Amino acid sequence: MKRRMMLLGLMACCGIFLPAMAQKTAYHLPQLLRENRLVALPSNEVTALTTAGKPAVSMKGIVWLKGVNFKQGTIEIDLRGKDVFLKSFLGIAFHGVDTTTCDILYFRPFNFRHEDTLRRKWSVAYMSLPDKNYAVLRRDHPLVYENAVDPVPRADEWFHATLVLIHKTLSVYVNHSAKPSLQVTLLNDRTEGLFGLYSDGLPNDFANLTITPRP
């Protein structure tokens, strides 16, 4: 310990400084719900799950985390959707101004193991609202902003997602894979904003959220 302190002191004297370490924050989602720190529209559904085997919430809509302003860094989260065709979309919303202006990275679990190989390539997707939704991006840039996931979970099981945002590059990893399932360049000039959970169609499940900001 003394040797380390001496080394750090010598580096400081020479004008050499180490970058500040990023602080990982874990979010207990049911506790945030109890404390009214999940900000949702009145029409949204948010409930705590008691049978998930982990501290989880089930929800639909966009639910912002009160007081969280996300710029860039690493997001980790467990997700569970539904094996119901065109009825289960879930992920995260970030760099938000409100629910109509934000970036969204989301999964379509019903496509994970679909027999149609093209549909499997629509399993994870990025969009930037309001102007660049999935339909516009699929028409103008097919298979650039959506892709298959690897490894492939079952549609109705929990899976882990790691999202790494550095500057304007977003990389998405599934179940701790070393290879990204999707890598895209963000499509707007916002560098920070609201952060939340995204769920459309049927209610979907979320747990074990952590955020590690990038210095």
- φ, ψ dihedrals at 14, nearest 5°: -90, 5
Contact present, 172 and 73 (Cβ < 8 Å)? no
Model confidence, pTM: 0.89
Q: How confident is the model at residue 51 (pLDDT cuts 50, 70, 90)?
A: confident
The three-point CA angle 98-197-114 to 5° equals 120
3-state secondary structure of 135: helix
Q: How confident is the model at residue 43 (pLDDT cuts 50, 70, 90)?
A: confident
Query: The tokens of 178 are what?
Result: 């070393």
Measured CA distances, 169 to 16, 22, 72, 127, 139 (Å): 29, 19, 10, 13, 22
Average pLDDT on 3-23 reads 43
Average per-residue pLDDT in the chain?
Answer: 91
To which H or E segment does residue 214 belong? none
3-state secondary structure of 211: strand
* pLDDT tens track for 78-134: 999 999 999 999 999 999 999 999 999 999 999 999 999 999 999 999 999 999 999
Query: The tokens of 28 are what?
Result: 């207990």
- The CATH topology of domain 25-213 is Jelly Rolls (2.60.120)
Evaluate if residue 9 carries a pLDDT over 50. Answer: no
What per-residue confidence (pLDDT) applies to 42? 85
What per-residue confidence (pLDDT) applies to 168? 97
Evaluate if residue 211 carries a pLDDT over 70. Answer: yes
* pLDDT tens track for 168-207: 999 999 999 999 999 999 999 999 999 999 999 999 999 9
Q: How confident is the model at residue 17 (pLDDT cuts 50, 70, 90)?
A: very low
3-state secondary structure of 190: coil
Q: How confident is the model at residue 53 (pLDDT cuts 50, 70, 90)?
A: confident
Q: What are the residue boundaries of the structural domains of the chain, listed by start? A: 25-213
Which ranges of the chain would DSSP assign to H, the alpha helix?
2-13, 29-34, 117-120, 134-140
What per-residue confidence (pLDDT) applies to 52? 78
Q: Where are the beta strands (DSSP E) in the chain?
A: 25-27, 38-39, 45-49, 56-70, 73-80, 88-98, 101-107, 124-129, 146-147, 159-166, 169-174, 182-185, 193-213
Distance CA 197, CA 63 (A): 5
Average pLDDT on 37-63 reads 92
Distance CA 183, CA 202 (A): 27
